Structure 1
């Protein structure tokens, strides 16, 4: 009888199951259809990292009194090309939009100039947001030269806020930082414009940090909930503490 000790069997699949337990919709996107007419997730190309149908649906739900022009302008601002910026600048700009909303100006139905702020995430009631985990999600570099497939990406309202890189159970998670993460930041930088959390793990050990953090600033996570309940250092503890709907609101 053969035993599967692969990264997918021992680390990735339990992580996906856990995200499902904490309320995320999940999908294996290895065979995702990407096109302008028949697209699984609404992407027209694999260079796109925002799931626009999910984003549009969330914005309409969170801003029921705004017309479609305001929603369209907010989506344009969120998805515009920030390739001329540094990763830090782009990430900081998007973070401000997530926190404060997107200010848009347009003509209303009466032809009057109108200013509105479009809410992107409901920070008070996490259940009002859309949580989705994609595994095996293909991303093409802006240059078109590279095509990468990160392990797991967590989306909130269609925006890729969580980036997870997994190693085999006996693998060193520092390798995930020094090799995989650094490579991704160079080849597919657009996914990090939106990033709030980076998680590196081999299942038993797990660390969390920001997109800009050096390895020494990636931290173990022992806290499970806001009351300070303690747990062992593991991927499950970290996911429950940082990616659970309540935890995600507190840690972004």
Structure 2
């Protein structure tokens, strides 16, 4: 039984997370495919091949005409994105990348001999389907010292950039060590240290720790006590159940399980043959945070950098409080006036951040 914990981790937490991500529209890459897309280099964390493919479709406008980006501009953007400024610390590097994601990167182009400086967006925020969504498992990344490596359980990429890192643990906590979700959190915090794989976390927007039953989330440098649970208010239980039990086509299933032991696929097929699967806390967290539109919302509207505290991602009360507030102020009564309202806060629930 030496391999029992691994077995439990895989079957209880990781495979369910992978099949759910596939159901949410993320495309799976086997560890080998992911390695190929980063040029076979384990010290590179961006899937350059994917990023190049996305940028090759980007255009800019000048004098009423549309032009494709030059190879030179594409190379410049890639080298810019692939060398995060970690010399000033992870938080600084992460904020610089975040700003590139939000505001694009300016490039220099020449049209008929005239110099033009368009700003190129890395992510199409308006149309999520205009982006490429991939995920992989056991993503091996060489440590900063260059000797050994770390292997986060699951990494999710948008346009080749690793924006989400997930640690999947077995469900049964050893009572001495506390719940296994905390193991995933401490692993995530360790991996962000300067001598570990900070170059992976320079891109991170959401970090998750799940154990098959439940999960917590944070972002870069979030202290363990602030990793939060999520309570969903907009996606109904029925929608969650439908997503959890969405049948994957044969090609997707083959691709997910091809590089694994044959028993893994038959285990999964037996599981789904047994009737409708219940939605776990892990499923709820993944659907609530990693559905494409919701992930984009969380990154764009509910992430801030605070001088003192660092990077903060919204908690569910803040997210839904803001959503309800925006709905309220867009409504008008029969006389054309707006309705008021109150957002009620308990002490320490982050009201100043909600207001930001």
Q: TM-score, normalised by structure 2?
A: 0.63
Question: Per-residue CA shift, 1:179-222, capped at 9, x if unaligned?
Answer: x1122112000011100000011111101111121112111112
Identify if the C-alpha distance between structure 1 residues 121 and 44 changes in structure 2 by more than 3 Å, giving closer, same or farther. same
Question: Per-residue CA shift, 1:30-65, capped at 9, x if unaligned?
Answer: x4585xxxxx22324100000011111112234373
Task: Pick the structure with greater CA Rg.
Answer: 2
Q: For residue 15 of structure 1, what is the aligned residue in structure 2?
A: 17
Q: 1:237 aligns with which of 284, 294, 298?
A: 284
Equivalences for residues 109-128 of structure 1 within 5 A: 110-128=112-130
Question: Per-residue CA shift, 1:106-151, capped at 9, x if unaligned?
Answer: 4x25443321111100111101110000101110023212211110
Question: How many angstroms apart in 1 are the aligned matches of 2:12 and 2:101?
Answer: 34
Point out where structure 2 has 5 or more consecutive residues left out of the alignment. 61-66, 174-179, 241-278, 300-356
3-state SS of paired residue (1:220): coil
Q: 2:107 aligns with which of 104, 129, 132?
A: 104
3-state SS of paired residue (1:6): helix
Question: How many angstroms apart in 2 are the aligned matches of 1:79 and 1:53?
Answer: 12
3-state SS of paired residue (2:86): coil
Larger relative helix fraction: 2
Q: For residue 37 of structure 1, what is the aligned residue in structure 2?
A: none
Q: Is the 8 A contact 2:57 2:68 kept in 1?
A: no
Equivalences for residues 159-174 of structure 1 within 5 A: 159-171=161-173, 172-174=180-182
Greater shift after overlay, 185-194 or 210-219? 210-219
Q: For residue 316 of structure 2, what is the aligned residue in structure 1?
A: none
Q: For residue 142 of structure 2, what is the aligned residue in structure 1?
A: 140
Greater shift after overlay, 82-91 or 66-75? 66-75
Question: How many angstroms apart in 2 are the aligned matches of 1:62 and 1:212?
Answer: 33
3-state SS of paired residue (1:207): strand
Q: Is the 8 A contact 1:199 1:207 kept in 2?
A: yes
Q: 1:188 aligns with which of 193, 197, 214?
A: 197
Question: How many angstroms apart in 1 are the aligned matches of 2:143 and 2:112?
Answer: 43
Question: How many angstroms apart in 1 are the aligned matches of 2:59 and 2:138?
Answer: 32
Say whether 1:210 aligns with 2:219: yes
Identify if the C-alpha distance between structure 1 residues 33 and 20 changes in structure 2 by more than 3 Å, giving closer, same or farther. closer
Identify if the C-alpha distance between structure 1 residues 66 and 33 changes in structure 2 by more than 3 Å, giving closer, same or farther. closer
Question: How many angstroms apart in 1 are the aligned matches of 2:235 and 2:25?
Answer: 21
Question: How many angstroms apart in 2 are the aligned matches of 1:147 and 1:133?
Answer: 19
Question: How many angstroms apart in 2 are the aligned matches of 1:44 and 1:11?
Answer: 28
Say whether 1:177 aligns with 2:185: yes
Question: Per-residue CA shift, 1:224-252, capped at 9, x if unaligned?
Answer: 6xx36467771111111111111111111
Q: Is the 8 A contact 2:104 2:120 kept in 1?
A: yes
Greater shift after overlay, 59-68 or 212-221? 59-68
Q: For residue 83 of structure 1, what is the aligned residue in structure 2?
A: 86
3-state SS of paired residue (1:170): coil
Identify if the C-alpha distance between structure 1 residues 147 and 154 changes in structure 2 by more than 3 Å, giving closer, same or farther. same
Question: Per-residue CA shift, 1:145-184, capped at 9, x if unaligned?
Answer: 2211110000000000000011101132112222x11221
Q: Is the 8 A contact 2:136 2:155 kept in 1?
A: yes
Say whether 1:72 aligns with 2:75: yes
